[in-house]
Amino acid sequence: MRVLQAATARFVSTIIAIFGIAIVVFVAVRIVPGNPIAMMLPPGATSGDIDRLEALYGLDKSILEQFAIWLGNALQGDLGTSISLRRDVLGLVLGRLPATLELSILALVFALALGFALALAGARYRGTPAEAGIDVVNGVGLSVPDFLWGLFLILLFGVIWPVFHISGRITPQSDLPFATQFFLAESLVRLRFDLAADLLAHMFMPALALSLPLAAMIGRLLKQSIKETLHLDYVETARTRGYSENAVIFSEALRNALLPTLTLIGVQFTFLIGGTVIIERLFSYEGLGNMAIDAVINRDLPLIQGIVLVFAVIVTAVNLAVDLTYALLNPRLRRG
């Protein structure tokens, strides 16, 4: 019962957080200097023209009124109309969101694979030069951000050894068989492995760039946790019962070292999602982040508002999911 109560409380606080972010975004976007309406009109437009357009976008009302209208509409799924693209914001955002989600999830998979490999190798060869080497790799991985990794990957796999595509999401072609925007998932479901391979060749570098800092973090923390559990009694018992060192690490130590790593992954995954903004730009990947930068450059208030809000919802949802998983997995909380 206590878990259920805690979960409800956590859910309510999530909704409050999203509401708070909505207010912050709304207010911030209203105090933007520079008139976006004036930028939409051709030179020589009269002030009457500006007033008419402002009325059309509701910018002539008071801030409080504007917020009430915006919130009411947002709850009904209407996030307004983009000023630069002149289309429905929700439609634009939902059209781009799948691309960003697929990229983030692929990056998470890469980070888990690399991080676990580093941690297990480091724990297995602890105290040897191999472990010292892994520590150096982790250290560099931690202190260099995804943006720089992306640029190095472009030089490496785009120029020196051009095996992957450096821009776009898919090779342009007229007859894409997709019904949704989840291209990668759908190409796998439809067994179109040629398209899946093309998508992966485009996504490989941005996903790897996003994953490297997280992989280094997982590698360091998980190795530390495994090494700590290796001194515990039950692990010693397993060892005296004749288990090999590999078996001890994989079957005994790893299982109990996972919990702190899980929390780290949850928190850092939200940073990874934030990182897609610049990485998508770098690889001209048509996702939400790339759209966000265009929206800032074009001063497209409704679009900025919509994108930031959607990102905020995703981030808080991930945090909520992590907390709930943690509560379910942690035996001390479960028994309570």
Partner 1 sequence: MVSGSASRRRLPPRLWLSGLWLGLVIFAAALAPWISPHDPLNQDLFAGRLPPLWMEGSQPSYWLGTDNLGRDVLSRILHGSRIAIAVAFVAGICTCLIGTALGMAAGYFGGWTDRVISRLVEIWMAFPPVLFCILLIAVLGTGLVAIIVAIIVIDWTRFCRVVRAEALNQSRMDYVESARVAGYSRYRTLLAEIFPNILPTATALLSLEMGIAVIVEAILSFVNLSISTDAPTWGGMIAEGRISIHQAWWVLAFPLVALFLTVLSFSQFGEGLKDRFDPVLR
Task: Assess contact for 146 and 276: CB atoms under 8 A.
Answer: no
CA 103, CA 202: separation in Å to the nearest integer?
Answer: 10
Among 45, 312, 313, 327, binds partner 1 (CB under 8 A): 312
For residue 322, give both structure tokens.
Answer: 């992590």
Instruction: Please measure the distance between the N-terminal and C-terminal CA atoms of the chain and give it in whole angstroms.
Output: 9
According to CB under 8 A, which residues from 118 to 147 bind partner 1? Answer: 139-140, 142-145, 147
Among 218, 315, 320, 322, binds partner 1 (CB under 8 A): 315
Task: Assess contact for 126 and 229: CB atoms under 8 A.
Answer: no
CA 194, CA 80: separation in Å to the nearest integer?
Answer: 38
Nearer to partner 1 by Cβ, of 28 and 333: the residue is 28
For residue 277, give both structure tokens.
Answer: 């903004």
According to CB under 8 A, which residues from 260 to 279 bind partner 1? Answer: 270-271, 273-275, 277-278
Sign of CA pseudo-dihedral 34, 35, 39, 40: positive
Residue span binding partner 1 (CB under 8 A) among the ranges 86-94, 119-127, 155-163, 214-222: 155-163
Kindly determine how many residues on this chain lie close enough to bind partner 1 according to the rule CB under 8 A. 46
Residue span binding partner 1 (CB under 8 A) among the ranges 53-61, 77-85, 209-217, 306-314: 306-314
CA 237, CA 244: separation in Å to the nearest integer?
Answer: 12
| Amino acid at the residue 283 | F
Query: Least separation, in Å, of the C-beta of 166 and partner 1?
Result: 7
In terms of DSSP H, where are the helices of 191-300?
193-229, 233-240, 245-247, 254-282, 288-297
Nearer to partner 1 by Cβ, of 184 and 208: the residue is 208
322 part of the interface to partner 1, by CB under 8 A: no
Interhelix angle 146-153/193-229, rounded to 10 degrees, is 130
282 part of the interface to partner 1, by CB under 8 A: yes
Query: Least separation, in Å, of the C-beta of 12 and partner 1?
Result: 15
Query: Least separation, in Å, of the C-beta of 219 and partner 1?
Result: 16
Nearer to partner 1 by Cβ, of 57 and 178: the residue is 57
61 DSSP assignment: S
Binding site for partner 1 (CB under 8 A): 17, 20-21, 24-25, 28-29, 31-34, 139-140, 142-145, 147-148, 151-152, 154-155, 158-159, 166, 270-271, 273-275, 277-278, 281-282, 292-293, 296-297, 299, 304, 308, 311-312, 315-316
